[in-house]
Structure 1
Amino acid sequence: MVSFAPQGDTDPLPTAIAAAPGGGSWLAWLGTDSKVHLGKLDCGDQLVGTPASLDAVDLQDVKADADGVVVLLTRPGPQGSGTLCGGTSSPTRTMWMVRLDNSGRQVWERQVTNLSSSRGGYDPGALFVWWYNHHGTLAYDGTNYAAYFEAAITVANGGCVDIHEGDRMQVVNATTGALVAGHDSFDWGCSHAWDSHIIWDARTGHFAMVCATDNNCRIARPGTGQTVVPGVCDGTLFGGNIVLAGTPGYWTAWSNGNQVRLEHFSTGASDRTVLTADRTQHSHLVGYGAGRMLLTWKSGTSTAAQTYDTTSGATVGGQFTIAVPDHTYVETKAYPDGSVAFPAIGTSNTSIRIVRVMPLN
């Protein structure tokens, strides 16, 4: 597999995990063979069976349901005939959802960018994945999968083209693999955008999303354009995950000036701010059983963690240490039993171990 280092926003993601509703997990990892490998883990977090292999340049996320699993990944795309107005050329990529059943057999695949034999990345109107920040996340509403990711858009500028960075959300039917219109999807949301995160909210019947953007330097809701919280574009503005609050609305983690805060919001601006002990640029926030959420962040060669109440935002218990290194973009995932887990570097830089935080009583 690819190395767990480096960990910049343009570097490949080494691995991702998802809870399997019937028990166990799906683990995806990016190989050095231009493939994403996908294997099933049992309830003891041990690999069982033979992993499937999918052609890919990069791994983004994995999400499972009772009938199988969907992997979000990038693949090579056509370059097109346009000429850059300036800057250095870089390969153009396509973003794909790939669906497998519980036996690891591929059911369908669907491109969620818009490149084709007649539209390359350097052609006006292209929406694709370029070299810069291009991480993506998946969410599932019980019928459809949504992919929310950073994307590039190509715009004509006289006899050449400019390429801008933003974000895109597309929805695909879990059974047929067909693109589904509406469902909060959009071609282009925040711009410029990074740190794009999504969650399904069954209470409202909508996908909820947040991004970091230099459009007025803020954490925002794409599509609606609403500001969650203003920030400062000083090179330290970063967004984080979104989780369901115990009351209507959401919590998101974000950082500015190397200080992570939790913000509660519903349909507009934040109405509650929690200052955390996290003094980093990147953190991970995940639902942690009923009424709680877990914030984790890099702390030297280990990972620091703190539990919070999803209604009040108050801390629950004390801060504790997880004796594994943090990875900037490998996310922690929630499990039906109230535990959370994430894949971390193993005994070597190219091996994986599963870290699990058991339910909090």
Structure 2
Amino acid sequence: MKKTQVNLGVSVTGYGRQSDTEPLPMAIAATPSGRSWLAWLGTDGKVYLGNLDCSDHLVGTPSSFAGIDLQDVAADANGGVLLLTRKGDCHTGPLCGGSSSPCNTMWMIRFDNSGHQVWEQQVTNLSSSRGGYDDGARFVWWYQHHGRLAYDGTNYAAYFSDAITVQNGRCVDIHQGDRMQVVGPTGALLSGHDSFEVGCSHSWDNHIVWDPRVGHFKMVCATDNNCRIAQPPNYRTVASGTCDGTLFGGDIVLSSNAGYWVGWSQGGHARLDHFSTGASDKTVNTSVATSHPHLVSYGGRMLMAWASGSKMAAQVYHSGTGSTVGSQFTIDVPDHAYMSFKAYSDGSAAYAAAGSTSTSIAIARVMPMS
């Protein structure tokens, strides 16, 4: 494991309270050349983007974009895409009861290899004529709202939790679910491509991967509908959980055989489940005691990582059988429950974590396994 401190010169939002309703501080993306894009949420209402060389050192001057919450960053040979949240308007409703503010928006920001914006596209549906409290609105609120990106070689997909506004007589109710939207190379919203308005209801911990073997985006969510890990948009059960408040849905990765693995936890115990089009056909009850496992492809294998005191611990698994490979080891950075590792073409995996100062980020790189 290699750790690199990246000094940024601007303040980074701290870890603070970690939940699916709190801002995400930072994210990293692998480029085809082995370099990285590093994104972070500043303390000044901006999302920053910097380029890292193959040794994880900052190159050039970071760019900045208006944004109140960072969700994810993904990259390709010509730049990449940021997924971030901006302020929106609720309008008047009125609500049938309760409170659901704020009414914010989710955006994809396309950038080039210089880190400059090429286009931006909202993937929620608010406008000057449609606020969050208007019938049919899809917006980002205080409740579950984090999202992830995936790339099919041409188009980017964003899968995220959102608020859903439904007319109920003379007032509106606000529900919570998820949404998947695909944006083409020129910034246009696309229909099809596995996109949907609503997949899982009362959805959280949304994760997505592109599978070139079948030519589809594949997603998993955690849901309190029978408390399970499910596959939208048809709401197929992948793994059954328990309604005790400890269900956490982790990352989805490609299996070396057909299908996928999802890492998740229940009752503070991590599991791996293999599935293809429906229910899990293999469950690995790991020895890992954690409420928030991370899972990432790792050079033809899988890497699971989790919080262990002030650092992280990790274990490699076979991506076909789910069996352990080698022994557990330590990753010397602090964990954040809702951030993700990213896989690199050289077989390594990297994680952006809180640095030693408020103006730095630590890059933890798990080097390729021989």
What is the TM-score normalised by the length of structure 2? 0.95
Q: How does 1:218-229 map to 2 (within 5 A)?
A: 218-229=228-239
Q: Among all aligned residue pairs of Structure 1 and Structure 2, give the percentage whose two residues are the same amino acid.
A: 67
Q: Does 1:316 align with 2:330?
A: no
Contact conserved, 1:2 with 1:350, CA < 8 A, in 2? no
Of 103, 109, 134 in structure 2, the residue corresponding to residue 123 of structure 1 is: 134
Paired with 1:20 and 1:245, the residues of 2 have a C-alpha distance of 22
- The residue aligned with 1:157 is 168
Alignment partner of 1:124: what SS? coil
Aligned-residue offset at 1:313: 0.5
- The residue aligned with 1:272 is 282
Contact conserved, 2:40 with 2:47, CA < 8 A, in 1? yes
Of 79, 83, 87 in structure 2, the residue corresponding to residue 68 of structure 1 is: 79
Aligned-CA RMSD value:
1.0
- The residue aligned with 1:169 is 180
1:112-143 alpha-carbon deviations (Å, 9 max, x no partner):
00001110001111001000111100000001
Residue type of the alignment partner of 2:171? C
Aligned-residue offset at 1:69: 1.0
- The residue aligned with 1:256 is 266
Q: How does 1:318-337 map to 2 (within 5 A)?
A: 318-337=327-346
- Greater alpha carbon shift after TM alignment, 76-85 vs 339-348: 76-85
Contact conserved, 2:333 with 2:362, CA < 8 A, in 1? no
1:299-328 alpha-carbon deviations (Å, 9 max, x no partner):
111101000000111000011111221111
Alignment partner of 1:39: what SS? strand
Alignment partner of 1:252: what SS? strand
Alignment partner of 1:45: what SS? coil
Q: How does 1:182-193 map to 2 (within 5 A)?
A: 182-193=192-203
Contact conserved, 1:3 with 1:350, CA < 8 A, in 2? no
- The residue aligned with 1:200 is 210
Structure 1 segments, 4+ long, off by >2 Å, are: 348-351
Paired with 1:11 and 1:327, the residues of 2 have a C-alpha distance of 11
Aligned-residue offset at 1:22: 2.1
1:201-243 alpha-carbon deviations (Å, 9 max, x no partner):
0000000000001112110001121100111111001100000
Aligned-residue offset at 1:103: 1.1
Paired with 2:98 and 2:211, the residues of 1 have a C-alpha distance of 41
- The residue aligned with 1:286 is 296
- The residue aligned with 1:143 is 154
Q: How does 1:14-29 map to 2 (within 5 A)?
A: 14-29=25-40
- Greater alpha carbon shift after TM alignment, 81-90 vs 57-66: 81-90
Aligned-residue offset at 1:28: 0.3
Q: How does 1:209-224 map to 2 (within 5 A)?
A: 209-224=219-234
User: Residue 89 and residue 247 in structure 1: after superposition, are their counterparts in 2 closer, same or farther (change >3 A)?
Assistant: closer
Contact conserved, 1:4 with 1:350, CA < 8 A, in 2? no
Q: How many residues align?
A: 359
- The residue aligned with 1:296 is 305
Aligned-residue offset at 1:161: 1.5
Residue type of the alignment partner of 1:161? V
- The residue aligned with 1:345 is 354
1:34-85 alpha-carbon deviations (Å, 9 max, x no partner):
1100010011101111111100010000000001110000001121220222
Paired with 2:279 and 2:267, the residues of 1 have a C-alpha distance of 20
Paired with 1:105 and 1:297, the residues of 2 have a C-alpha distance of 34
Aligned-residue offset at 1:193: 0.3
Residue type of the alignment partner of 1:190? C
Paired with 1:111 and 1:51, the residues of 2 have a C-alpha distance of 23
Paired with 1:89 and 1:215, the residues of 2 have a C-alpha distance of 21
Of 37, 40, 45 in structure 1, the residue corresponding to residue 48 of structure 2 is: 37
Paired with 2:274 and 2:282, the residues of 1 have a C-alpha distance of 5
Contact conserved, 2:100 with 2:141, CA < 8 A, in 1? no
- Greater alpha carbon shift after TM alignment, 88-97 vs 114-123: 88-97
Residue type of the alignment partner of 2:89? P
